[in-house]
Structure 1
Amino acid sequence: MNINSPITNTSNVSIIKKIPTKELIYYYKKDLNIDVTKYYSNLQEIYVCICEETGYKFYYPLDLGGDSDFYGHFRKYPWYYMPWKWEHKEAIRYVKKGMSVLEIGCAEGDFLSRVKNIKDVKATGLELSHDAAIVSRKKNIEVYEELIEVHATKNLEKYDIVVMFQVLEHISNIREFILSCLSVLKPGGFLLISVPNNDSFIKLDEKPVLNAPPHHLGLWNVRSLISFSSIFNLEIVSLLFEPMQKYHLPYFYQILYGNSIKNIFGNVVGKILNKILRSIFVFFVSFIRDYITGHTIMGVYKKKKL
């Protein structure tokens, strides 16, 4: 089997794991009440691969991503599209008055609306969800319902800063995607990318449903984000690590202790014990959570001037 890296387009790739699709189908239905059978196209298993040059792990076949129906399912969960997060606060530090800002995957325009009001910038968003785009436009945001690859053909070196929050892990054609981002960025401009940090506590989750297709198509970490510097000729300005957020503490507990307690004591007793212990855990860990690496990492890059 010849598999090329989505970043380097070379064949220096190893298969590190096989996952039965019936297992993913079962847990998506059990945990999130969604049937994902159609996204696996009758495949019996999928592969977790690693690009040896960059450390980027990705799922194969590459074309396993969800569609608008899939992502529409998650709109009912308040934790899925949060209006203001850690990475928004960090990103806004790089935005200066009068800049032209592009957000890829702007959802309902919460970040762009905030940055536009605070920094008085020219704010543009790309969003494939028609319903979300409508909401963004009501906030006086210029939104295009098109891919960055399409947008790039008409907007070369237009923007001072390009941002994306929790987007890249959903993309399969990484190389083309990043090159398109860079083509719309002015020389000396900033590219900000936030993704789940698979060096953090989330790597301990034995059943990471949302960290697998059709939701996530790639698994990013420090090494793979650093590789952008040499592959795409970028200056790394900073790598920022999210501290543990309070709303992630129940999930953190579940990974560390909750699943094991349920397996040992059964559903009924385990549920009671977990309810008690989870509350105690969240209370005490809240005092030290700033010292625990959280869910997200953000890479800040600068496009080199020729």
Structure 2
Amino acid sequence: MKSPVTGGNRVELITTFPTESIVKIYEDKLNVDTRRFFKGVPAVELYECTETGYRFYAPEGILGDGQFYADLNKDNEGYYPTNKWEHKYAISQIKPGEKVLEIGAGDGFFLEQLKKANIDAIGLELNLDAIAKGEKKGLRMYNEMIEDHAAAHPDTYDVVCCFQVLEHIYQVKSFLDAAIKALKKGGKLIIGVPNNNPYMFKQDKWQTLNLPPHHAGLWNRKAFTELPKFYNITPLDIIVEPLSNTKEYAKPWYVAQRSYYKETSPVLGGLMSIVPRPIYKLAVKALSPWIDGINIIAVFTKN
């Protein structure tokens, strides 16, 4: 087993997930059938790259297809949010006149924001329907893999960015090598992903959308901090979105902590269980600006 980030073999098995349990969670919580992705796979393994802290699932061929994402979007309103924290931050890092490439542009929401700001940008996207929607808005979008695009356009862009994409990629090294190749020297690489420390809400390893076939891997601050050891980049900023930005996650965050401590520290878990909901909601609300939330954004420059 090799690390998708480094290509090295310094990896450690963290835990396993029975396939039937994953299938049942998707059915019960999201009304999505995932059984077809796990044929011949009795259990999914979670490994950690010990050189970076990045965690990834195995085997490789269990990631979602177009129908899977259509099913998610159909019954789960808000799966594709438009008002993203990381979009606002990224725009603050882009200067007028810079040339921007977005990988995994969806139907072009971020590209549209750049266009309104008079920033020259194009997007790569594999969903043809999404490209069609983007083109109707007058956006420039292409059905290309970043590896192919970078080979044809090396050292071209001032900024290369991707949002909520890298966690769905198994071949991380190939993806990042290509994204960096497309950048000019001194250009910025901006990456937004879900924050896992080590799991969504810190403790809940069964958080549904963190599991395959939705996610290939789990990112955290440490994993981004270690990337410059393996890539020709220098970190400029690594920021975790505060929990206060997503108030609807306050209750699940507390419940996840409570469940964790019931197993690891029964006394503390028991005390947390008797705290009335109105009290812990007020406490979490007050502390939420200092609690790590659900997203992380990392900014690097190409050396």
**TM-score, with structure 1 as normaliser:** 0.87
Q: 1:90 matched to which residue of 2?
A: 89
Equivalent residue number for residue 140 of structure 1 = 138
**Could you say which residue in structure 2 is the equivalent of 1:58?**
56
Give identity over the alignment, percent: 37
Give, in angstroms, the shift of residue 251 of structure 1. 3.0
Deviations 1:156-192 (A, max 9, x none): 1111101111111100001101001011111110001
Contact 1:253/1:278, CA 8 A, preserved across alignment: no
Deviations 1:268-290 (A, max 9, x none): xxxxxxxxx66765566334422
Paired residue type of 1:161: V
**What CA deviation, in whole Å up to 9, does each residue of 1:139-166 have, x standing for no partner?**
2211112211122222111111011111
Of 2, 7, 10, the residue aligned with 1:9 is: 7
Partner of 2:248: 247
Which residue, out of 105, 126, 130, partners 2:128? 130
- In 2, distance between residues paired with 1:222 and 1:280? 30
Q: Is the 8 A contact 2:45 2:58 kept in 1?
A: yes
Whole-Å Cα distance in 1 between the matches of residues 38 and 91 of structure 2? 38
Which of 41, 44, 55 lines up with 1:43 in the alignment?
A: 41
Equivalent position of 1:188 in the other structure:
186
Give the Cα separation in 1 of the matches to 2:289 and 2:255.
19
**Aligned pair in 2 of structure 1 residues 141, 260: CA closer, same or farther (>3 Å)?**
same
Q: Give, as a single letter, the amino acid of the residue that structure 2 aligns with 1:117.
A: K
Q: State the partner residue of 1:227.
A: 226
Gaps (5+ residues) in structure 2? 263-275
Q: Is the 8 A contact 1:102 1:162 kept in 2?
A: yes
Are the structure 2 counterparts of residues 181 and 292 from structure 1 closer, same or farther at C-alpha, using a change threshold of 3 Å? same
Compare 12-21 and 211-220 and name the one that shifted more: 12-21
Structure 1: runs of 5 or more not aligned: 262-276
Of residues 168, 171, 182, the one that matches 1:170 is 168
Q: Shift in Å at residue 252 of structure 1?
A: 2.2
Corresponding position: 1:108 with 2:107: yes
| Residue-by-residue CA offset, 1:193-242 (whole Å, 9 max, x unaligned) | 11111117623214212111100110111221111111002110011110
Question: 1:84 touches 1:111 (CA, 8 Å); kept in 2?
Answer: no
2:298 matched residue in structure 1: 299
Deviations 1:18-37 (A, max 9, x none): 11111101111111111111
Cα deviation 1:97-126 (Å, max 9, x = unaligned): 0111111111121111112212x1111111
Which SS does the other structure have where 1:214 is aligned? Answer: coil
Equivalent positions of 1:261-300 (< 5 A) are: 281-282=280-281, 285-300=284-299
Superposition TM-score, scaled by structure 2 size: 0.88
State the superposition RMSD in angstroms: 2.4
One-letter identity of the residue aligned with 1:15: L
Query: Deviation of residue 247 (structure 1)?
Result: 3.2
Corresponding residue number in structure 1 for 2:27:
29
